[in-house]
Amino acid sequence: MKDKYLQKIENAFLEHLLKIKDPQILEFGVRHGQSTKLFIDICEKTNGFLYSVDIDNYENKFLSKKWKFIHGRDDNYELVEKFIPKKLDVVFLDSFHNANHVEKIFYHYYPMVKQDGIFVIDDINWMLYSKNNTRDNFNSEINNYETFFRILDIYNSNIENFDLSFDFIGSGIAKIKKITNNQLSKRKKVILRKNTIKNIIRKILQK
């Protein structure tokens, strides 16, 4: 059975990348290297190039002429932008899983994504990490939960600018496809009516 992490990565990227000639890919977070290896394999088949950024030094993890490792933080913009091209086909964010950080990185690098390119954010499924569930973990539950709804708030003010889909395999993934070159609007909180008097009355009447 295929590893769930690799399965969701392939679901998010394979079809899109194999259609592109000379894809330019920016990856934040290397760790076990599964996504990095997949991207390198694709780049070697399609004459593309992968740029991987991590605060830990993985420069010797792979040998490929289609790969550049950048040792630093994803928000060290000056360092990262010394090496990457001005336009990217894919950005994959799998570094620090915190909603504020994800939002900051997304808004900074999204303008570099080509129209019809994709920006993918890992770890949006909090259910596995909820109490008494298979990966019961407080920090992962809260971070993934907050990131999921932060992405929805960003989408709420940018529905005309990008398409959004979620995959809940494993720790989940959010796939954002850029459909215009418009500047993104600031996030707008989705206003829910679940705690309104009207909804309370509705629940009472349903009993």
Residue 39: give its domain's CATH number: 3.40.50.150
Whether 3 shows a pLDDT value over 90: the answer reads no
Task: Give the largest CA-CA distance in the chain.
Answer: 66
pLDDT of 6 reads 87
Whether 15 shows a pLDDT value over 60: the answer reads yes
Percent of the chain exceeding pLDDT 90 equals: 90
Residues 110 and 184 sit within 8 Å (Cβ to Cβ):
yes
Whether 4 shows a pLDDT value over 90: the answer reads no
- State which residues form the domain around 155: 4-206
Q: How confident is the prediction for the chain on average, in pLDDT? A: 95
The b-or-e profile of 107-137 (16+ CB within 10 A means b, else e) is eebbebbeeebbbbbbbbbbebbbeeeeeee
Whether 1 shows a pLDDT value over 60: the answer reads no
Say if pTM beats, i.e. exceeds, 0.85.
Answer: yes
Percent of the chain exceeding pLDDT 70 equals: 99
pLDDT of 207 reads 82
> 10 Å Cβ neighbour count for 182?
12
- The SS3 call for residue 35 is helix
Q: Domain total for the chain?
A: 1
> 10 Å Cβ neighbour count for 170?
18
Whether 111 shows a pLDDT value over 80: the answer reads yes
pLDDT of 2 reads 60
DSSP letter string, 52-66: EEESS--TTS---TT
pLDDT of 135 reads 95
**Distance in angstroms (rounded) separating the CA atoms of residues 23 and 43:** 7
pLDDT of 165 reads 97
Name the amino acid, one letter, at 47. N
> Residues 70-96: pLDDT tens digits?
999 999 999 999 999 999 999 999 999
Name the amino acid, one letter, at 185. S
Of 113 and 199, more confident: 113
Residues 96 and 79 sit within 8 Å (Cβ to Cβ):
no
Residues 102 and 147 sit within 8 Å (Cβ to Cβ):
yes
> Residues 143-191: pLDDT tens digits?
999 999 999 999 999 999 999 999 999 999 999 999 999 999 999 999 9
